[in-house]
Amino acid sequence: MDSGGTVTSEIPVYFQHNRGFIYDVEDYLTLRFTHRIAGNLIGVPASKPRNSHVFGLPAALSAYELKLALEKGLVALVDRTSGLERDPDDGLRQQYEELVRRQVVEQKAPVVEKRIREFRSYLPKIVEGKRKKMLKSGVKEEDIQIDPEQLIAEERRKVEAMEFDRLIQIPMEHPLNIDRAITEFDLPGDHDRLKYRVFRDIWEKQNVYISGGDAFGCDFLLYPGDPLYYHASHMIHVLADADHRLDVKYMIRCCRLSVVVNKICVFAYAQRDTGDICYQTVEWEGNVGNEF
C-alpha cells in the first residue's frame, strides 16, 4: 500500500543482511516466469527436507536482480529489522497465541474427520453389538431405541476431547504483523554499477534469463530459456575499462574455458565517448552463426 492508501501490485522483497529475499511462492513464480528474474533458491523444500540437491524457498535475489526489479517497479524492498529486534508487546503475543490455537484446530480437524469416517463404516456392527448387549441385560426388544446419529455425535465429542500429537510448523514468512519500512538499495562501486548496466541492457534487449557466472569464472551467464530446462549459452565478461589494453593471457583463458564448457564468450564494455554498452563475441575461427 502506498502513501495515498491505494493497494499496489509490487512484490514485497524482504531486506536482510544486505540481501533481498522472497518467501511467497506466488510472488516468486511471478518474478521467474513473467519477468525472467530467477533468483537463487536457498531454502529446504518441505517435501524433500533431506535432499541436498533440491532447494526451495526462500529465494535470494542477486544485487543486480534486486536493482533491476526496483527500477522497473516490480518489487518493494521491505525492511523488518526494527520490528524483529524489538521485544514483542501484548498485541503480538496475543496474535501468536491465536495463531498457535488456529494451527492446533487445523491439524486436529482432519484427524477427527478421519476417525468419524471410520466410525461410520463400523456403525451397523456397533449398533448391532449394543442391541445384543442390551438384550442380554434384560431389556425387551421393543424397548431398545438406538439412534445412530446420537452415537456419531457422542463419538465426535469424545474424539475432539482427545489429545493428539502436533506438528511444529515453521513458517516461510514471518506470520505476525510487525513493523516494516520501505527502504532503498544501491550498488556500492563503479564496476558494480557498470555490471548492472550490462545486466539491465541484456535483460531489456534479449529475451533471455541471466544469472551470476561465478561457477564458470565470468560475470554473467545467459540462458535461452528457464535455467531449469536449459543450459547456459553465453558467458559474459564485463571489462572495467574499454580503453585499457586487454591482456592476451586473460583473453585466452576466457576463450578456452568457454570452449571447454561449450559456451560462447562475450566481452561487454561501455564506450567512453557515448557510454553505450557494447559487446564483442570471441570464438574460434570457422565458427559462424553464433552472434550475440
46, 52, 53, 57: CA torsion to nearest 10: 40
Between CA 283 and CA 193 the distance in angstroms is: 27
Q: Are strands 19-22 and 56-61 parallel, antiparallel or unpaired?
A: antiparallel
**Active-site residue flag, 231:** yes
Among 14, 64, 223, 269, the active-site one is 223
Phi-psi region of 36 (alpha: psi -120 to 50; beta: other; left: phi over 0): left
Helix extents (H) in 184-282: 190-205, 248-260
Between CA 26 and CA 272 the distance in angstroms is: 42
CB neighbours (10 Å) of residue 32?
A: 19
Q: Helix count (H) and strand count (E) of the chain? A: 9, 11
Max Cα-Cα span within the chain: 109
**Active-site residue flag, 249:** no
Between CA 209 and CA 155 the distance in angstroms is: 57
Among 64, 237, 263, 269, the active-site one is 263
The set of cell numbers assigned to 283 is: 570464438
DSSP 88: P
DSSP 27: H
The set of cell numbers assigned to 120 is: 461410520
Among 72, 132, 158, 231, the active-site one is 231
Q: Which residues contact 291 (CB under 8 A, 6 or more apart)?
A: 281
- Burial (0-12, 13-18, 19+ Cβ within 10 Å), 220: buried
Question: Would you say how long the chain is, in residues?
Answer: 292
**Active-site residue flag, 205:** no
- Residues designated as active site: 223, 231, 263
